[in-house]
Amino acid sequence: MGHPKLIMLDEPSLGLAPMLVEEIFAIVRKIREESGVGVLLVEQNARAALAIADHGYVMENGRIVLDGPAAQLRENEDIKEFYLGLNQLGERKSYREVKHYKRRKRWLG
């Protein structure tokens, strides 16, 4: 346990205040960068996860429907809309847009 090769985290931000979430992800990033330990992170906060990830997987209904380098996923239009809450101009969606949101099932057709 003193020198792990992999750290697995399941929803480390669940139920935490935004300031604590930032701190936890900063710590995870620091551990990964300074010690070279691999991190397997399961997280619904896509913005925070993709900010520190090298590679990501999108799961729906227990199946991997999309994967790739984190930088590529951050630029994917569906990821921006479905998981990052951004409109097509890259701006945050309004409450009205989010409230009336109907998800397109592109991946599980």
Question: What does the pLDDT look like over 36-63, one tens digit per residue?
Answer: 899 999 998 888 999 999 999 988 888 8
Is 59 contained in some domain? no
Task: Give the total number of structural domains in the chain.
Answer: 2
The structure's pTM equals 0.72
**d(C-alpha 3, C-alpha 55), whole Å:** 23
Are both 4 and 49 inside the same structural domain? yes
Is 2 contained in some domain? yes
Is 58 contained in some domain? no
Is 39 contained in some domain? yes
In degrees rounded to 5, what are phi and psi of residue 108? -110, 30
Q: Return the number of other C-beta atoms located less than 10 Å from residue 22's C-beta.
A: 13
Structural domain boundaries, residue 49:
1-53
Residue 9 identity = L
Are both 48 and 9 inside the same structural domain? yes
Residue 74 has pLDDT above 80, yes or no: yes
In degrees rounded to 5, what are phi and psi of residue 98? -70, -40
Q: Which two tokens stand for residue 96?
A: 């009205």
Pairing assessment for the beta strands 6-10 and 38-42 based on DSSP bridges: parallel
Q: How confident is the model at residue 23 (pLDDT cuts 50, 70, 90)?
A: very high
Percent of the chain's residues with pLDDT above 90: 49
Is 107 contained in some domain? yes
Q: How confident is the model at residue 101 (pLDDT cuts 50, 70, 90)?
A: very low
Are both 49 and 3 inside the same structural domain? yes
Beta bridge pairs of residue 41: 9
Cα Rg, the chain, nearest whole Å: 15
